[in-house]
Structure 1
Amino acid sequence: MQVLPHPFVPAQASEGALLRARALQRYLLELRTALLSYGAVPPVHLMVLSESDWRARVHHPYGFPFQRTSLKEGLYVFLPKQYPERLIWRLREVLIPAIKRVGRPPGQPDDFLDLNLGHEYAHAVAVAWKLRVRVRWIDEFIANYLYLLALRQALPELYAQALAWGQLLAQLTPSQPSLSSYERKPKALVDQLWFQGQFTVKAGALIEARHDGLLKGLLQASPLSKGGVHKVLLGLEPGLKEWFAQFAPPRNSPKTSPGGIPLEASS
């Protein structure tokens, strides 16, 4: 393993991945700089690993960027040295229906995956700022919002790309579009991507309308709790109620809140 020491984004890279790790380290440092005005950002470790090094350290499937975050054990983001061909082809296959609707994507699948490392970094920041509530869709939505807000301030050209990817993904057709279904695992790749598209488009709309207003409100309400976060979100952004309704289960299904909690219990 090769090491790229840094006080804020220390990196480790498998043999042959040093240049890639250095470029991604710079990318995350740009996001960090944008987020510093809102609060302290602790070190987040970047791991750029070959498949063998990956499998020796984590049980997560090799390919997609992901984060492993704990204030006690440290904040880590993982990215492969090279994306497996099977993953790239699977992404291309899943995206075909959306591409037919809206046209060519803003880049190649590996561009999307590299860009999405910023989303995983945002998860780590959310943990540090006590914004994680362990309701999957809310944690994903908040991470998307943080990621896009940082991109808009630090790397506007990549912000535009991220929005374009979100608009493309939002054109997919999920098998289960309700937010309560998002809490159940595993989910089909098309569903995961569709939800990410929806979260990206909505987060982008909130940023364009009120810039960082939602983040400032969330930080004032921190630490967020699983039971109270829905009320906090609606208090800060009343318009989210109408957006939540778009993900409601069919009428003959039990009525639940977006977190999967019966509405009677969450009101």
Structure 2
Amino acid sequence: MTLRAPANGIEIAYDTFGSPGARPLLLITGLGCQLIQWDERFCALLAGRGYHVVRFDNRDSGESTHLDGAGTPALDGSGEVPYLLDDMADDAAGLLDALGWDTAHVIGLSMGGMIAQSLAIRHPRRVRSLTSIMSTPSPRAALLTDPDVLLPAFTPDRESAVRRALDNCAAVGSPGYPFDREWNAEIAGLGYDRSYDPAGTARQVAAIMASGDRAPRLGELAVPALVLHGEDDPLVPLPAGIATADAIPGARLITFPGMGHDLPAELWPAFVDAIDELTVSADSGR
């Protein structure tokens, strides 16, 4: 069941897995994505390790607030943008407030990793541990020279939108692992039904491009950190993951051959093991 909470002047849609008394774990998803793109089976694996898992829709996606009146900004970071990644990080902090969580372990995926980094920078005492997955400290480090390729096209109908989403997922997916076409088609269709908003995704792209380089501020963090990255990521290439790990003092970097810009189910056990090792160490103060 999707729940809603006020956060940072907007409304955030979220849902949960696991026991409310378990260790708090916040999942932040990527560009144009919705909470449903954190696979329920992956969330259940985390919950089974003793976490209270919360996944949510970022602003301008899913069932959270859409800033429709802000229009479609330039995607190169020039001119005015409606908001920055820092504002999206403050949304996440506001959700922590609404959940009654003083602190949480935080995992961010792609753009969600950028938001998680900003959350740790802006609200360091709220973040028990930081896991940044296939992300970057800077749009330049990610080599995103053509941000238009990140956008969903305006399409005339649901079928076309699902087909376009499948093509995009297959193009950036993991060459070393099977492409789960059935799951991706189901999620693309459900995502269209929940909210189809290319203009909202454009505003998120503008936020990425205008937010600049976080590396200097990441260098001031004192938070246990893990960086997971695919060695065959065509969208946010491996050097961006290396740059993320290099920027955060003491961060552990784990890379995966054959992994692209998605989360192959075959790697979930390795992801969960690494995340659990990080969080247990963080909670024990080591």
Bigger proportion of residues as strand: 2
Structure with greater contact order relative to length (CA < 8 Å, sep ≥ 6): 2
TM-score normalised over the length of structure 2: 0.28
Bigger proportion of residues as helix: 1
TM-score normalised over the length of structure 1: 0.29
Larger of the two Rg values belongs to structure: 1
